[in-house]
Amino acid sequence: MHIIMGGTGHVGSATAANLLKRGEAVAILTRHADRAGEWRARGAEIIEANAEDVPSLCAAFRRGRRAFLLNPPADTTKDTDTVERRTAANLLVALEGSGLEKVVAASTGGAQPGNRIGDLNVLWELEEGLRRQSIPAAINRGAYYMSNWDDLLDVVRRDGVLPTMFPEDTVIPMVAPRDLGEAAAERLLSSVNDVGVWYVEGPERYSPRDVARAFSLALDQPVRLAITPRDQWKQAFLCLGFSEPAAASYTRMTEVSVDSGFDLTDDPWCGSTSLDSYIRELVARSGTAEGG
């Protein structure tokens, strides 16, 4: 059985759906079992566990043969680096003695050693911990999720403006959660010798200008970019309700990502979901929800 973390989120749910489609046994690991009824109806088991509770993680991992690991994002009103470093360490502790034969972990493009650079150093620490332990570990790095644009749909629709911190022509290896789920499922089903890092991207690389164009086409209205100057990034995060340490970490992560070119690689695993199709489906889903 495959133990899937994050099954009620974007990437974990895509991974679980892909595995179930292939006839695999799946268990969804979630903090709130009462919110996972849809998965039970689709044939998955539900395991209640919490990344802050090592014994619950240990018990969950011991029930499976392979596992998809996803360090849960911390509440941005708290010190996200401290919380996420702790939960990443908890995952590594829980793997000890689990009996799992292989794990697949979600990481990020640009993962690197450092301090206070958000996911970049937190997931680097997780990657390094996985390399040191005995269970074969496959790591999938997705630099920028297309779903990061989801919460801006209402603003774009209302104002015809797409806010972004990225310069308009920044080349970004964006990827849809559906493709990340497919890549994770492939590696969960592959040989235990399939380890190490894959870079996972969409069929093309896109810029914020391309995102504005995709929204414009899907909404059939003009959409322009509103680019936040670099010296205002931290204040922008604070205005979104981020804590002071979270705003500082996210600002630094954004700076490093832009300045390093998002850790582009010459030979990524490429999914099939284009930015245009992703945004079109996002708009269609929102229209259905409004109508229903």
Residue 292: predicted pLDDT:
46
d(CA 127, CA 165): 28
Residue 155 lies in a domain: no
Give per-residue pLDDT as tens, 198-239: 999 999 999 999 999 999 999 999 999 999 999 999 999 999
Task: List, for residues 88-128, the tens digit of each pLDDT value.
Answer: 999 999 999 999 999 999 999 999 999 999 999 999 999 99
Provide the domain count of the chain.
Answer: 1
Q: Is 252 a member of any domain?
A: no
Q: Is 209 a domain residue?
A: no
Domain for residue 6, yes or no? yes
| Residues spanned by the domain of 75 | 2-145+175-202+263-273
The CATH number of the domain where 112 resides is what? 3.40.50.720
Q: Hey, which residues does 211 pair with through a beta bridge?
A: none
Residue where the block lists tokens 């380890």? 195
67 in a domain, yes or no?
Answer: yes
217 φ/ψ angles, rounded to the nearest 5 degrees: -65, -45
Q: Rg of the chain's alpha carbons, rounded to an integer?
A: 19
Contact 174, 202 (CB under 8 A): yes
Q: Is residue 126 part of a domain?
A: yes
